[in-house]
Structure 1
Amino acid sequence: MLTDNHGRKLNYLRLAVTDRCNLRCFYCMPEEGLNWLSREELMSYEEMMRACSLLVKMGIEKIRITGGEPFVRKDIMNLLAGISKLDGLKDLSMTTNGVLTAPYVTEMKKLGITDVNLSLDTLDPNRFFTITLRDEFDKVMDTMQELLRNDMTVKINAVVMAGKNTQDIIPMVELTKHLPVSVRFIEEMPFNGDGHEYKGLEWDHTRILNEIQQHFPTIKKSIDPVNSTAYNYDIPGHKGSVGIIAAYSRTFCGTCNRIRITPQGTLKNCLYDDGVMNIKDLMRAGNDDKQLERHLLTAFGKRVMDGWEAERQRVEKTGVHESMATIGG
């Protein structure tokens, strides 16, 4: 079993395969996009496979593929096929914005991918365009329907933003009445790529829950899975469920079981740290797997207690200005 210096089990890797995205959500990046990584700066698929294989041998049991938008990267299905065959991997899942995903759903299921997080911040096409600056709402909804037709476990991730989509909270909860989806409301975080100044959190997890309770007074707390980042709730008579993720309040750090590898190979022990080592650079410097394992174990042995400590320790003292696309959602 792989553990950190606080005794927390580490069994979950979030691997970001690209920093590029076909949407321009204002809370993630500026309108003009980012200074995209060059091909040389990105981890190759071979390097990603090597990292995943090593980490699974060390104790990682679940891998979630993220971005950017994973399906923007060419031949992503080849990588998924390779990872799905790793001996010891129990769960391979994805996070996607759904714009390009629908044609791949059947193939994903054949690879054993049955859990997909779909990023969707509104059910209103006009607000979708305002938030994403792209007219792709119908494609995302088509992807959701295709996922459900294939009996996928669908979690809809909605970032709650003051003045942007709080009027969508109740309609999105209503979506769970007839559809077996989990709608998860996420506190807004400061990872906007310098697109705008983060003003602080207006809608925290408590306020989001209060808003839902006013319209659905019978909502009740359900049992949270081990290592869950969401507070989960059920509403009697609804096929789906509701979750609230305190991503900015960081109330779940004490049971965090996840690590992240960014598209450029940076290992992050915490979403809020600025990276603790670069596995791609170590590979390209000629380190063998035993040497890589020693570097990884050293990094896991220096994990911070929580996201607040990670943020305080950042080299960049002026604040958090990364884009979520370069971190991995």
Structure 2
Amino acid sequence: MYQNQFSMFERIGHTILGNLPFRNIIIENLNKFRIKQIKKLKTPINVVFYVTDGCNLRCKHCFYWKNLKNKNDELKIDKIKKIAKSFKHPLHMLSLTGGEPFMRQDIVEICNLFYKYNNTKRINIATNGILTGKIVEATKIILRNNPTKRFTIFISLDGLQSTHDSIRNYNGSFEKAIKTIKELKKIKNKNLSIFVATTITEQNFEELPELIQFVKALKVIHKFNLLRNNSTVHNIDPSLLHDFDPQHAKLPKNKDLEKVFQIIKNNGKSISNKVETLKIKYSIDLLKNFHKIKCLATFTDMVLFPKGDISVCEPTNSFGNLKDWDYNVYKAWDSKHANKRKSKLKSCSCIQSCNLLNSMKYDTKTLKKIL
């Protein structure tokens, strides 16, 4: 099972760098080379794809709630095929989200297209875990159709039963999510990773120690995200931001965020938890206007929305629709619209986990701590 984005670096660090006397110098020079390479990219290598605006829940902490409506005008499979073929590089990571991704009847075909035509290295799907049967069956088919590819399911779990059901506004959602986790674990495929993802809010942070122990007993990897809203994006023109504010949830207070950090830090010394601890620490520092990590989203990341709109990152609004470039990502990414937008995002920072983790992979100080 692949545990996280840093698993490759962990292996390299332990087997090659180890106790070498010039370890830090090696890391510095290797990382300079890696950064030069990503700045030469012609298309992004990490994509978040909102495959649907349809959802079967109305969660309190959802920042996408204003967009959860009917599923009209979603990109059809022929257009998605054109998109998958149009990247100049294989994607390192494709993250499918929504809405609830498994409400799309063609979710398996979407995965197959990217694996086949783009040679995507790994696909992640974020789900609320309600549709157990569909999730398990789709996972089996995806793994069977793509036996050499890595595939990850993120199941949201935002507290123990009463807390989770309250946040999800659905009695029984906790039990269904747990059932989905247990059924997925029965698949036992080396290319399948099963993660639990928890969004930390004012409502659930005090329950984190108990939730962490509960997830440990499930024997799956636990990921954490701080609640996001527009106020968690810094150094940016407000007109560039999406209207992505949760309706009924708040971040823990600053003094409580320090408690959150200590709780996660005390969760263990595994490579996965080291990464999560650093991510949360960087996020808290950023919320206090102390920016540690240079964001590389303008080089490496892209967001695709259900109707074909594209943006550099989730917090920022669209700079165009792929139909204007005949569903060709390369043409869109090299367009004057894209370059104008990217030029305005050189100094901003946020706590969006995907962008933050992707940037941490190329941050020398972080690599020295992780390896």
TM-score by length of 1: 0.71
Counterpart of 2:136 in structure 1 is 102
**How far is 1:35 from its partner?**
5.9
Task: Check whether the contact 1:265–1:278 (CA below 8 A) recurs between aligned residues.
Answer: yes
**How far is 1:28 from its partner?**
0.8
SS in 2 for 1:85: helix
The question of 1:127 aligning with 2:168 is answered no
**How far is 1:119 from its partner?**
1.4
Q: Distance in 2 between matches of 1:189 and 1:308?
A: 12
Counterpart of 2:268 in structure 1 is 219
Q: Distance in 1 between matches of 2:128 and 2:119?
A: 28
Query: How many residues are paired up?
Result: 288
SS in 2 for 1:108: helix
Q: Distance in 1 between matches of 2:281 and 2:195?
A: 12
Task: Check whether the contact 2:46–2:302 (CA below 8 A) recurs between aligned residues.
Answer: yes
Task: Check whether the contact 1:159–1:186 (CA below 8 A) recurs between aligned residues.
Answer: yes
Counterpart of 1:190 in structure 2 is 229
Counterpart of 2:206 in structure 1 is 167
The question of 1:68 aligning with 2:99 is answered yes
Q: Distance in 1 between matches of 2:64 and 2:186?
A: 35
The question of 1:81 aligning with 2:112 is answered yes
For residues 4-23 of structure 1, give each alpha carbon's deviation from its aligned partner in whole angstroms, at most 9, with x where no partner exists: 99938641111110022111
**How far is 1:173 from its partner?**
1.6
The change in CA–CA distance for 1:137 and 1:46 in structure 2 (over 3 A counts) is same
Counterpart of 1:278 in structure 2 is 321
**How far is 1:81 from its partner?**
2.1
Q: Distance in 1 between matches of 2:351 and 2:283?
A: 16
For residues 265-304 of structure 1, give each alpha carbon's deviation from its aligned partner in whole angstroms, at most 9, with x where no partner exists: 2222122211222213432xxx767744632874685361
Q: Distance in 2 between matches of 1:209 and 1:155?
A: 20
Q: Distance in 2 between matches of 1:155 and 1:82?
A: 24
Task: Check whether the contact 2:156–2:197 (CA below 8 A) recurs between aligned residues.
Answer: yes
SS in 1 for 2:222: strand
**How far is 1:231 from its partner?**
3.6
Task: Check whether the contact 2:83–2:328 (CA below 8 A) recurs between aligned residues.
Answer: no
Task: Check whether the contact 1:185–1:245 (CA below 8 A) recurs between aligned residues.
Answer: no
Q: Distance in 2 between matches of 1:187 and 1:20?
A: 24
SS in 1 for 2:180: helix
For residues 172-228 of structure 1, give each alpha carbon's deviation from its aligned partner in whole angstroms, at most 9, with x where no partner exists: 221354443221221111278666377665267643122345xx4x83374789xx7
Task: Check whether the contact 1:4–1:301 (CA below 8 A) recurs between aligned residues.
Answer: no
One-letter code of the match for 2:268? Answer: I
Task: Give the counterpart of 2:253 among 195, 198, 202.
Answer: 202
Q: Distance in 1 between matches of 2:177 and 2:277?
A: 25
Task: Give the counterpart of 1:302 among 331, 343, 349.
Answer: 343
Q: Distance in 1 between matches of 2:245 and 2:118?
A: 41
Give the aligned CA root-mean-square deviation in angstroms. Answer: 4.0
For residues 40-67 of structure 1, give each alpha carbon's deviation from its aligned partner in whole angstroms, at most 9, with x where no partner exists: 3x22222222122212x34533212111
**How far is 1:102 from its partner?**
2.9
Task: Check whether the contact 2:303–2:314 (CA below 8 A) recurs between aligned residues.
Answer: yes
State the identity %.
18
The question of 1:158 aligning with 2:202 is answered no
Structure 1 residues not aligned, in runs of 5+? 234-242, 312-329
The change in CA–CA distance for 1:24 and 1:170 in structure 2 (over 3 A counts) is same
One-letter code of the match for 2:151? Answer: T
For residues 208-263 of structure 1, give each alpha carbon's deviation from its aligned partner in whole angstroms, at most 9, with x where no partner exists: 122345xx4x83374789xx7x4469xxxxxxxxx778397485553543221111
The change in CA–CA distance for 1:290 and 1:138 in structure 2 (over 3 A counts) is closer
TM-score by length of 2: 0.64
Structure 2 residues not aligned, in runs of 5+? 1-32, 231-242, 353-371
**How far is 1:131 from its partner?**
0.8
Q: Distance in 2 between matches of 1:137 and 1:224?
A: 24
Relative to total residues, which structure has the larger strand share, 1 or 2?
1
